[in-house]
Structure 1
Amino acid sequence: MSGRLLIVDDDPVQRRLLEEAAKRFGYRVTTATNGQEAVRLMNGPDGAEIDIIVLDLVMPELDGMGVITRLRESRITVPIIVQTAHAGIETAVNAIRAGAQDFVVKPVSPERLEISLRNCMKVSALEGEITRLKKRSTGTFSFDDIVTRSEAMERVLRIGRRAANSQIPILIEGESGVGKELIARAIQGTSDRKSRPFVTVNCGAIPEHLVESILFGHEKGAFTGAVDKHVGKFQEAHGGTLFLDEVGELPLDIQVRLLRALQEGEVDPIGGRRPVKVDFRLISATNRRLIDLVKEGRFREDLYYRLNVFPIWLPPLRDRLEDVPELVRHFLARFAAEEGKPQVSTVAPDAMSLLQAYHWPGNIRQLENAVFRAVVLCDGDHLTPEDFPQVAAASHGGSVSQPARHPLRPDAPPRDEASQDASQTAPQAAELPREGRPGDEEAVERHGDERTPVQQAFEGAGAPFGFMRSLNDEGHVRTLNAMEEEMIRVAIDHYRGRMTEVARRLGIGRSTLYRKLKEYGLEEGANQDAAE
């Protein structure tokens, strides 16, 4: 496990023994020599990082009972394991009543200590998860409930807290799976609209012919099939917050109506006789750069400037790997309870190292699913690398090296990805066996090898799956058009001609995809694939 312990004991020998045992179990350890020092540390900025306190009851100046009392008065609810050489039922009962979670007798055996630590971590994670679920259901989820310990996310939370105190429209940008909806909920739960409706709309999941009705509502008889009056999402969010996820997927005609709703504070239900006034806080999210969609003519420029008043960018998980241990603990507690496996409560250090070495292209959503799968596969009392077969296979395959920067990141340095890919891949390919014609070796020996280095590297050697060459046979960088055409061919083949999926995975619209198919003369092949 990778939690952080605070060991409080005035005996240096006992502190050292406990510290070594805890480190062997995979915990990070901080020590304090007396009760006063422990109270100062827990009330300081480093106190938020402490997961468990191992506390000696008998100490000079401020004893263990005094430490527990002061911490609980400060509303610090970190689990506490008390230890003393003076065993007794009365002492144990008093410690538990004061707020301790467990009681051990000196000298505690490593096995007893490990069980106690594991139980406290499990209970703490479950209590935190239950608290978060309650707050999400009541609309009071706040930034304090977000699981993170990275400086990058702390900056995001500081910006979000400022935005929550205003009614300013917010645009949250970030890769898929980084937690954009969670930030939106925290903004609403911190604002004066907390406990009011929080309405979520995934704009990319609504059929185009139903978008207008779902967002703005309709009157009975407004169109064929409208047998009842329907209240739209804008009216549902009246007094609260409307969260438009993947807002870049909205059709252009709906974007016009959204702009009017923002400017006038009213919506026109289909078939309605008069506009309906609505009071809502708008938070939008996208996993693509809206400015690029504006340049392509797929997103209205005036709406873009209306939404992009207060942008917040969420970093991908690969840029904040220090969050992985805390997130794993959070997901493990939840899934172990859901799957009826309460004995699975810890992660082996080598498994945690594996998870922190991976670059997580699917971000937090992928990590969540990986932990879910691991809990189902686990037969013991802790997760091991064998419970993460997909992560282990991807890591051993080299996919953790040099992850590409996401184009949404504002501070991403420019990279020559083609030359970097070539420099990393060509030497590996050059080492692959070359299956030449009989007599090639003699010809090379007599006349020299007249092939270019790129031809030498790739001739007769099958490229790995998913690999795309960035240099041509002469060693020059291939044109962007050539690489784009090849990428489209690969996507059509990989997704068996399902053009909606191809467009989504390539990050372009269907109309743009079909235009490029026509430009590159790929229409016939794509139609054949789709027919098959």
Structure 2
Amino acid sequence: MTAQILLIDEDAAERRSMKAAIEAHGHAVHVADTASAGIELFRRHYDQISVVVLDATSADGLNPTLIPVLAEINPAVPVIVATTEGATETALEAVRAGAFDFLVKPIAQERLIGAIESALKIHRTSLQGRAPRRARSGSVSFADVVAASAAMSRVVELGRRAAQSTIPVMLEGEPGVGKELVARAIHGASDRSSRPFIPVNCNTVSPSEIEEFLFGGENQPGKLAEAEGGTLFVEEISELPPVGQMRLLEMVQSGEVHRQGQPRPLKANVRLILATNKDLIEEVKAGRFREDLYYRVNVFPITIASLRRRKEDIPHLVRAFVERFSLEQRLPRTLQVDPSALALLTSFEWPGNTRQLENAIFRAVVLAEGTSLRESDFPQIVAQVAVSRGGAPGAEPQAVLHEPSPIAKVQAALAERTASFTSGYSASSTGFGAAQSANVIVSTDQAGNVRKLAEIEEELIRFALKFYRGQMSQVARKLGIGRSTLYRKLKDYGIDPDDPQKDAA
């Protein structure tokens, strides 16, 4: 079946070579030599183009906003990114941004056509009712949030509390961790659940248009008006330009919005849920985000941990995604997951977080040929494991060794410094209480069960406060978290931020 492919590549020779290979397999090719020309072509033919092949080997590398812009135009079209050998970070950036696949130049013709054919199968499936990035619709509840880990259980608990009020909520976390899902769950559990939930991503709207897009103007009512009575979810709030920040501050303070062409301000009856993947207090210090707006909207912060820090959620997410996609693809029975595949998925770091895992499972289910998913059904993950180890993209996956997390590094350092206090300590002879008095952080309770992560985190924070004599900036730096996050955790654990040493371990 003939399909239309958009090829964006600055290299004329590469364009001719790939165009010829694609056309030889019976497909039509649209060609663009720059990203802006490619976007313009895609806007004109968004309902005809089935796959985008994008070169990321220019001197400037991959434009991080390009794939989201393409997805905004038509999220059902898979994007394949071409990188140079050794360009690990570029490949990972592409995956984080939502790329379907990546190819390493020089690209073998068979590999190029194989990737396009797989993408076409995904696209045809999406036209039958599902886009690769599923746009959530209908009511979402906290039951839809997988919370096997203590970290996500805490998010759900805070989300339920937030749903009972109308104060602004700030969701913090890396791209793809599920901030929109949590926002929808908060909306669904609130008394505004029957009213609209309107999402806006500040990264996908140009700075010159975002003000009118959000607040409306002479030609459009704006997203704020669409969300009347419901919830306005603003993603990447740190990217809101200064004028937009000022308008948002005015709205939060007065409850009114001034729209161009209107003689008087209009009442704004909306619940604000905002999201960011940056440390906003650092943005305030750098002068990129208004301090007065920060304190107005950062009333109820909820931090969603990256997937690599809550790996106990991965098996549950995998099974939930496999079950859902098996039903959506109308398979006679739900696919099984081979133990080796589950081990691969659980050990992987998932730089694109839950969104990347969801897309990987969707691709595997659509392209699966057997009754179970095996390691070979996740070629992207196998390739990334190989690339991260410096091997060939087709190499067998092996265990990946990672640098210790900041918390782990601090724990090790603190253990070294307190060795003199704990020499001769024996868990069997002194017990759990003695371990605490000796400033040792142990991982099991008196019954021999693994302690809750929140308990260990609280204990470590209290010890760090004592160890660094309440110097908050040093405590935050050594723990590897932002000061705003540290202050929020102090509040969660009932520690007085004005006199932290009083409550220290």
TM-score, normalization: structure 2?
0.50
Task: Name 2:308's counterpart in structure 1.
Answer: 318
Q: Counterparts of 1:388 and 1:198 in 2: how far apart (Å)?
A: 34
Task: Name 2:401's counterpart in structure 1.
Answer: 401
Residues 1:177 and 2:176 are matched in the alignment: yes
Task: Name 1:390's counterpart in structure 2.
Answer: 380
SS of the aligned residue for 1:205 comes to coil
Deviation at 1:373, TM superposition (A): 2.1
Task: Name 1:232's counterpart in structure 2.
Answer: 222
Trace 1:484-495 onto structure 2 (pairs within 5 A): none
Task: Name 1:336's counterpart in structure 2.
Answer: 326
Deviation at 1:266, TM superposition (A): 0.7
CA RMSD of aligned residues (A): 2.7
SS of the aligned residue for 1:402 comes to coil
Please give the per-residue CA displacement for 1:146-205, whole angstroms capped at 9, x wherever unaligned. Answer: 123111100111111111111111110000000001111111111111111111110111
Q: Counterparts of 1:267 and 1:342 in 2: how far apart (Å)?
A: 53
Please give the per-residue CA displacement for 1:367-421, whole angstroms capped at 9, x wherever unaligned. Answer: 1111122223321100001111222233355484225759xxxx786699xxxxx
Q: Contact conserved, 2:170 with 2:301, CA < 8 A, in 1?
A: yes
Residues 1:155 and 2:154 are matched in the alignment: yes
- Residue 280 of structure 1, aligned match among 243, 246, 270: 270
Code of the residue aligned with 2:257 in structure 1: it is V
Deviation at 1:305, TM superposition (A): 0.9
Task: Name 1:84's counterpart in structure 2.
Answer: none
Code of the residue aligned with 1:152 in structure 2: it is A
Q: Counterparts of 2:229 and 2:293 in 1: how far apart (Å)?
A: 22
Task: Name 2:195's counterpart in structure 1.
Answer: 196
Task: Name 2:362's counterpart in structure 1.
Answer: 372
Q: Contact conserved, 1:344 with 1:383, CA < 8 A, in 2?
A: no
Q: Contact conserved, 2:364 with 2:378, CA < 8 A, in 1?
A: yes
Q: Counterparts of 1:145 and 1:331 in 2: how far apart (Å)?
A: 11
Q: Contact conserved, 1:344 with 1:380, CA < 8 A, in 2?
A: no
Code of the residue aligned with 2:216 in structure 1: it is G
Code of the residue aligned with 2:189 in structure 1: it is T
Which 4+ runs in 1 deviate beyond 2 A? 135-138, 333-344, 392-401, 403-406, 411-416
Unaligned runs of 5+ in 2: 1-129, 390-398, 413-505
Q: Contact conserved, 2:211 with 2:243, CA < 8 A, in 1?
A: no
Please give the per-residue CA displacement for 1:307-357, whole angstroms capped at 9, x wherever unaligned. Answer: 111110001111111111221122212333444544551101111111111
Cα pair distance change 1:269/1:178, threshold 3 Å: same
Q: Counterparts of 1:335 and 1:155 in 2: how far apart (Å)?
A: 28
SS of the aligned residue for 1:361 comes to coil
Cα pair distance change 1:195/1:318, threshold 3 Å: same
Which structure has the larger Rg over C-alpha atoms? 1
Task: Name 2:119's counterpart in structure 1.
Answer: none
- Residue 281 of structure 2, aligned match among 287, 291, 298: 291
Code of the residue aligned with 1:168 in structure 2: it is I
Residues 1:168 and 2:158 are matched in the alignment: no
TM-score, normalization: structure 1?
0.48
Q: Counterparts of 1:136 and 1:260 in 2: how far apart (Å)?
A: 31
Q: Counterparts of 2:329 and 2:212 in 1: how far apart (Å)?
A: 39
Q: Counterparts of 1:400 and 1:258 in 2: how far apart (Å)?
A: 45
Cα pair distance change 1:263/1:373, threshold 3 Å: same
SS of the aligned residue for 1:204 comes to coil
Count, aligned residues: 271
Task: Name 1:261's counterpart in structure 2.
Answer: 251
Q: Contact conserved, 2:234 with 2:274, CA < 8 A, in 1?
A: yes
Q: Counterparts of 1:236 and 1:403 in 2: how far apart (Å)?
A: 46
